Amino acid sequence: MRRAWIISTGTELTLGQAVGTNAAWLAAQMAELGIRTERHVTIPDDEIAACEVLLQAAGACDVILITGGLGPTADDLTRSALAQAAGVPLELHAPSLEHLRAFFAARGREMPPANRVQALVPRGAGVLRNRCGTAPGLRVELQRTPCYALPGVPFEMRNMFAHEVAPELRAANHDAVLLSRRLHTCGLGEADIGMRISDLMQRGRNPEVGTTASFGIVSVRINAAAPTRAAAEVQLQAEEAELRRRLGPAVFGRDEDTLASVVGRLLASAGQTLCTAESCTGGMIGTLVTDVPGSSQYFRGGIIAYADAVKEGVLGVQRADLEAHGAVSEAVARQMADTAVSLFGSDYAIAVTGVAGPAGGTERKPVGLVFIGLRTPAETTVHEFRFGSDSPREAVRIRSSWTALNLLRLSLQGAPPART
């Protein structure tokens, strides 16, 4: 399989004043063309750095893409870096100059003199047409490795890649395609998953399997390389089936699925409705649920019961329970879920009360202690979690929200959750 490097230029990128998205977009496009991107390098607007990285790339891969530095100002240095790396001079390219003049004429303006440099190309280079702007792209061979220089403006870059670069790379493709899929899990630790699938994660295996974790959601990534799209698809299917077999009900979705979108589909297809009663999550579960377009079909609403007086006055939690057990307790989570269902007339409710921190923790009720009440048409269960007394506030809130949605998901899928 051909290997690519992607080089992004721009001092605003290296200084962190902007997040570059070109490299990720290009890498995904390359994968579909059966080309595996092995490195992204981001450099400032600096001709020497650009020349050095171009030559390093030429010795290490089969296709180089470089974005940015093709504009008309003093910090646009990709043309001259390419010429230097190729060991050729820059020359005026007459058709490009004509294209530039026509671009401005079509907008009723004369071409500013500064734009003339955009018609300079390294001797022998191919010129890639820019349908959306002034900067033409370039195609140069560096030590026999093809190198495509594209504009940095994402819109122009994508258009040029699609029209000028992808067809050429596709035509040159005599080997494999690389297809990917992600499975998302909740409820198992990353190490636990790693043990269950360690043989599938062995290096050098195809399909390749890897994991990433974030606040209790562990995603398993499958990359399958094969001579044809159909063959790669078969490999993905088989690998997904094997992973699902090993990870069981912890798998809640794949690719763009979220816990909230999966819960939404399950509720909608069952014709059932949901409401929320949130304390420490402060509306986060409602926000996640309503992130999903069409959530009005199954989500009725919720109460953010932040102050204890609201738990008592609006949610009807017994003052005796608040006094005897505290707001963060099994009894209060249960009443929050039960009252919410009556108040909102829904089939399901999730209720959360916990200590998000950083203050408010005690020895008996440390930061990270969270009770999640789940009311279903059949019963109300309450689940106790300890998300770690050293966890930051944000982590406790996100874990609480995802765990609550996951409990609801398991219940809707008919998996009996453990009771407290």
Residues 179-208 that bind its own copies (CB under 8 A): 180, 182, 189-195, 198, 201-203, 208
The count of residues interacting with its own copies (CB under 8 A) is 126
Closer residue to its own copies in complex, CB, 22/411: 22
Owner of token pair 């122009």 = 156
d(CA 418, CA 236): 33
Decide: helix, strand or coil at residue 158: helix
d(CA 299, CA 344): 10
Sign of CA dihedral 293, 296, 297, 303: positive
Decide: helix, strand or coil at residue 202: coil
Residue 352 in contact with residue 278, Cβ under 8 Å? yes
Cα of 144 vs its chain's centroid, Å: 35
Q: How far is the CB of 7 from its own copies (least distance, A)?
A: 10
Among 89, 112, 227, 248, contact with its own copies (rule: CB under 8 A): 112
Q: In Å, what is the CA distance from 362 to each residue of 322, 355, 370, 372, 391?
A: 16, 9, 13, 19, 14
Owner of token pair 């009894």 = 331
Tell me which residue of 302, 351, 349 sits closest to 328, measured CA to CA.
Answer: 351
Residues 28-67 that bind its own copies (CB under 8 A): 28-31, 36-46, 49
Q: How far is the CB of 21 from its own copies (least distance, A)?
A: 5
Residue 12 in contact with residue 67, Cβ under 8 Å? no
Tell me: does residue 257 bind its own copies (CB under 8 A). Answer: no
Beta-carbon neighbour count of residue 264 at 10 Å?
Answer: 23
Write out the DSSP string of 90-125: EEE-HHHHHHHHHHHHHTT-PPPGGGGGGGEEETT-
Q: Is the peptide bond before 154 cis (omega within 30 degrees of 0)?
A: no
Closer residue to its own copies in complex, CB, 379/419: 419
Token pair of 261 as six digits: 């979108």
Among 122, 146, 207, 357, contact with its own copies (rule: CB under 8 A): 357
Closer residue to its own copies in complex, CB, 32/233: 32
Among 108, 271, 414, 416, contact with its own copies (rule: CB under 8 A): 108
Residues 359-378 that bind its own copies (CB under 8 A): 359, 368
Closer residue to its own copies in complex, CB, 124/294: 294
Residues 156-175 that bind its own copies (CB under 8 A): 159
Q: How far is the CB of 80 from its own copies (least distance, A)?
A: 12
Q: How far is the CB of 124 from its own copies (least distance, A)?
A: 26
Tell me: does residue 419 bind its own copies (CB under 8 A). Answer: no
Among 92, 98, 143, 214, contact with its own copies (rule: CB under 8 A): 214
Among 55, 72, 206, 244, contact with its own copies (rule: CB under 8 A): 72
Decide: helix, strand or coil at residue 375: strand
Closer residue to its own copies in complex, CB, 28/230: 28
Q: How far is the CB of 282 from its own copies (least distance, A)?
A: 3
Tell me: does residue 20 bind its own copies (CB under 8 A). Answer: yes
Closer residue to its own copies in complex, CB, 110/379: 110
H or E segment and range at residue 373:
strand 369-375
Residues 292-331 that bind its own copies (CB under 8 A): 293-296, 299-307, 309-310, 313-314
Q: How far is the CB of 15 from its own copies (least distance, A)?
A: 6
Tell me which residue of 95, 134, 91 sits closest to 111, measured CA to CA.
Answer: 134
Q: How far is the CB of 292 from its own copies (least distance, A)?
A: 9
Tell me: does residue 282 bind its own copies (CB under 8 A). Answer: yes
Q: How far is the CB of 392 from its own copies (least distance, A)?
A: 6
Closer residue to its own copies in complex, CB, 124/393: 393
Show the DSSP H helices in 130-258 as ranges: 154-160, 166-171, 190-196, 229-247
Among 58, 61, 65, 153, contact with its own copies (rule: CB under 8 A): 153
Beta-carbon neighbour count of residue 155 at 10 Å?
Answer: 10
Tell me: does residue 27 bind its own copies (CB under 8 A). Answer: yes
